[in-house]
Structure 1
Amino acid sequence: MRAGYVEPLRQALAAGGDADPAPVAEAATALTELAAAARTTPAALGEWAAPTGPVPRWWGQAGERGPVQGHAPVLRAWLDLLALVEPLRSVMPDARTAVLTGRLDADDARRSFELGLARASVRERLRGTELDRFDPAAHERAVVRFGRASDAVREHLVTQLPHGVLRGREFDTGTTAGRVGALRRQLGTRRGGMKVRELMTTYGDLVTRVQPCVLVSPDSLARFFPAVAGLFDVVVFDEASQVRVADAVGAMGRARSVVVVGDSKQMPPTTFAEAASESDELAPSFETVEDEESILTECVQARVASQRLGWHYRSQDESLIAFSNRHYYDGGLSTFPAPPRDTAAVSLVRVDGVFHRSGRGPLLRTNPVEAHAVVDEVVRRFADSPGALPSVGVVTFNQQQRTHIEGLLRDLDDPRIAEALEDPEGLFVKNLENVQGDERDVVLFSTGFSVNERGVLPLNFGPLNRAGGERRLNVAVTRARRQVVVFTSFDPEQMRTEATSSVGVRHLRSYLELAAHGPSVLPRQQDRRVERDRHREEIADRLRDRGLDVRAGVGLSDFTIDLVVSEPDGPDGAEVAVLLDGASWSRRLTARDRDHLPPDVLGRVLGWARVERVWLPQWLTAPEAVLDALTAAVRETSRAPRTGPDAETTVRVVARASAAPPSSTPSALRAEPASVIAAAAPAQADVSWPGEAIEFAPWHPRRIGGRDVLDALPAREAAARVRAALAEVVEAEGPIRAERLAVLVANAFDLGRVNESRRSQILDQLPRGLPRDPDEPVVFPAGLDPAAWTGYRPAGESSPRRFEDVPLREIGNAMAALVVAGAGMERGELHSETLRVFGLLRRTPAAVERLDAALALAETAGRLRTDGTDVVRAG
């Protein structure tokens, strides 16, 4: 259409019948071309523009949609709508027409489409992954089998690892010869024997082979073990936050690899004042770099590859660790929620005690009232446990309060308490400085301090005020497995923490508030991810519709129980824990962490009455069956409630029960503070005994033929008979020296004396397939390689062999066995022990000469080597 036609068309329409028809015709042509370009018809355009069509309706509602600056924005919105619904033209034409005509609200259409797309996607994924055929009972059986196998492997390792160590020993720990015998004699000497360092310097390598795992402090390792690189395959530093770098270096230098295990939020090394050396005057001339406070922090600063432990097992109520998890570990520990119990896991007992800050006498810096309250609690717990000693520990803020409480306990004259105080795993009374590494079921915590005569609480809490004092608090409040009871003579509100910069003091107030009011007072974790779980919400709402009480997301860490379900009026302890396979489940990287560990710990360790599993495919295909099963589980639990971790727990998949087997309790490695586990692994390449003792089976002489047979040699028939006799003797006594072989065969043909000519004549008939020793005239049975043979045949009660009849290679094999059994042996002792093996009690020059030749052959073969006066295994 040519430009400038709009005004002539307007004039033509205004003039009516007298108008110029050209502009009208041109407009009609343009409309026809527009309809063709839009792939529609003039009739459809007329319907579209009719008074009841979408254009007039859309234009009529313009006022309701607000002011429009010109027609362009409105037209653009309309074109956008057309573009969005255009894909529906070929697949959903009716829906497209309904949207364009206004019969269907566009927003409702979009939501309906998204819902349909989601449902179609779920159906496609169920089919594509075969989850539409998911069998919850079969899957749960697989989980149970995996759990059984995992626990069986763990239990098997307890015996398999020591068995592997014993199997890997190449020496005989019961021998009285060689270095092993010498070490046994040293260990049995009561007076006049070697000192520890001398003993380890001489026999350190042997000790580590006898006992590959050594538990020792870094200082003892450096003082007593020889300074030999590679003495241990791996050195493990436990409680590494308490090991100074200087103390660790000696142990690290003796290992091929090092594992550093520790917690930087626990106690640092104890620092003692050290005298400055005279060389300190030269210090300004050198650039020095100070060590980090511990080998743990040194490794962190050096960016050594690290692995952080995620699960926390010790606390049987997660509120015991919740304070430390929130304040010290950034919420990074995954803890297990415990079922509700009658007594709080962390509680506060307020007493009217007075801390003696001044004066003289044994009560200085003690709080007698608080001490007596602690002692009374200990006595009560012992009285409540008549059948066994209770697991109790007492922690104090200072040494004086610790001494006072222990004195009161000993003055009770209670034999059970006295016994528990002496038991390393019994009752302990310790202060903050030395409690790391201990754990008990119940810990009684005595703060000791109180307000002064002016009614003000001084903020001097001893070691807590020092730099890093919060680490001491962290150690103290994480010693309990079941319960912490804090005894204090002041209220948490009396601590004016705004007046101190001590992190330890501020954290103490927070912990006392937790003990007084529960975990709800803990600060919220700012970076904790908030996720909406629609799957969990749907199940919870459907269960509430059935009249059940439901709590969602129960827990204080990133691991939570998805749903806790109970009847509104049900008895205590009748709550059912329900685990789902949601987002948090999928983030756990191992099958054990996802499927086996949580229900096992929740049920068997923490005492949930029942643990149910609901799998998403199961819910999608049969939600009513899942709801019925959960409802039945809650009602069954209400009829037979139980509390306590020792009762039986049912772990099953809903809708189809599948009992879970018992498994081993998760355990944690524990050692003394600042300890080193040094392990020298046995050699894996060759754990076979290097010399096998075989019973000597002599050939029993018999008459095979007359002397005429030997005289007829080398005639064919005579040669055949001699050849058969030779093969028979070699098969019985081989390897056998050629001289003895010729004599035995000659005797079988009635010949008593054998000269050199006759011996050569007989040996010339040896079968060609019999191997020969390249180092001396010895014949081996067929199939036995002289270079690979490691056996030897000790003399019996009536051995027919003389020592000179024993092959040198066999003597060397016996020597190798003796050296390995004794972990090395002095040369003269080796000669004597070897002669004893072959029935000789006296060393003759000829015997020694033969022993030296056998030893030289063993050395040439790379089996033995001489180290000074000692003979040791080569390689």
Structure 2
Amino acid sequence: RLNVLISRAKRRCEVYASITDEDIDLERGKGKGVFAFKLFLHYARTGRLSLAQATTREMDSVFEEQVANALIEKGYQVHAQVGIAGFFIDLAIADPERPGRYILGIECDGIAYHSSRSARDRDRLRQAVLEDHGWIIHRIWSPDWFQRPREQLERTIAAIEAARKELDARMELGFQRNRAVNVEVVTVDRGEVTEIGLADVPEDDTTQRAYAEAELKRTGSYELHETPTGVMAGLVEQVVAVEAPVHLDEVVCRIREAWGLQRAGGRIQDAVERGLTIAESRGSVSRKGDFLFKPGATVTLRDRSQVASLGLRKPEMIAMEEIAEGAIEVVASNLGATEDEIVTRVSRMLGFRATSSQLRNAVTAAIVHLTTTGVFSSADGLLIIIEDRQPSEGSSTTHSLPLALQ
């Protein structure tokens, strides 16, 4: 029982949990017990006994409604009059990836804000309290909005994305500070049984093979779907140069993010496809199914544990060529390995703490392909690299793959 768990400790309470308060979605579980448990975990993590809650209060002005509607049209989840620490925030941007967390608080200031010194002083104090509770606040003045709505909307979207990165950085910093030993909990899905254990984390390995995401800048004042095909081809080439091999959906994602868009409709998809066709004709990009490659570039396995785009952590978004390179590296560095050892190690190298059935299937498919195409052979229960493919002494672990993978 929750009250017994929390109230019986006389001196100190140490909390060990497989979830945090940010994993609990109050929209799905609305009972008082759920809220109390979330509040307790929040207090254990932050030391603050307050929690932001969406309310049924109506917006204070047409100004707030216009800002909210404009952000909703851009794909953001907007909650009005969110209460915390006795205050109400005009608009709050909910984080769809972490239920219960708000990315940014938006304060819509009317003319009275700038004309009244007492109002400014009161709001500065209010903002200081909110920031002390972990909020990032962005202010919009009504005359600026009504005179230059597009400019103010773009500034607000930029503030949202900057706040998202700031919150992720805070979480990572807190994780590093609170980590007692350099190990991680790992799980392996074996169908009917899931194995759980601890594994050492090699510090340098993660940094050296970290996945780099392309950062694009918007070019021109035209809408994304109206971007000239030659310019679009250049954008595709920029992403592929940094991230190859990369799934086409991720290329679309990088390009739409440069325009501040949350979704890509059919017209945008078609525009990117046209740009891709031009890039292929130039010889700067090659396409195999839904994956794009940079001709002549070496394929290496990359760690996805710190990526911003969640799509990169889906097994179906990882090219078989990249997984195969990881499998070859594991076998070569260990002078042979079992299939289970390859699956587990490649999963960790990719940045996954848990080996899901989908990820296991993806790695197994790469192993099967390497075996059937003559890269791997089996000896005494171990998969080994056929001798004429072994790297020479002092060389890197880069291997040439069969034509089907190249």
TM range (shorter): 0.3 to 0.5
- Of Structure 1 and Structure 2, the greater strand share is in 2
Structure number with the bigger relative contact order (C-alpha 8 A, sep ≥ 6) is: 1
Q: Which has the larger radius of gyration?
A: 1
Q: TM-score w.r.t. structure 2 length?
A: 0.38
